[in-house]
Amino acid sequence: MTEDNYETRKAARLRDVFYMYLGGIAIFTIAVVISQYTTGWIGLVVYFVIGIYLTKVYLPQLVTFHPVWNTIDNLVSIKTRAIFFWPIFYLILLSKLGFLQAMK
């Protein structure tokens, strides 16, 4: 595998995660609008389902943890923040990774 091919796949993966993030925002917005006409729990459930999905499926594709920092405490705190605050967490993470990708 060449270095150029690896960088292209990495940029494509970052773009795909960004589109999934935007899709999650859209789904959450629709769920909040629907929850105004029905029970209020729909928006909350959808919020956590999207956070868990993004964290479980896409976070390992974006970030590899250094073996020294790959402790239970660090992983739990990062994944908890990613689930509970996913709109802000993934926006910041994708911005940082996009900046690093653009600076190569």
Tokens coding 32: 């909040």
Looking at residue 55, what is its pLDDT? 93
Query: Quick one: pLDDT band at residue 76, thresholds 50, 70, 90?
Result: very high
The C-alpha R_g of the chain, in whole angstroms, comes to 16
Q: What percent of the chain has pLDDT over 90?
A: 53
CB atoms under 10 Å from CB of 20, counted, come to 16
Query: Quick one: pLDDT band at residue 2, thresholds 50, 70, 90?
Result: low
Contacts with 54 (C-beta within 8 Å, 6 or more apart), sequence order: 17, 20, 21, 24, 82, 86, 90
Q: Does residue 51 surpass a pLDDT of 70?
A: yes
Q: Does residue 25 surpass a pLDDT of 60?
A: yes
Q: Is 69 helix (H, G, I), strand (E, B) or coil?
A: coil
How far is 104 from 87, CA to CA, in rounded Å?
A: 26
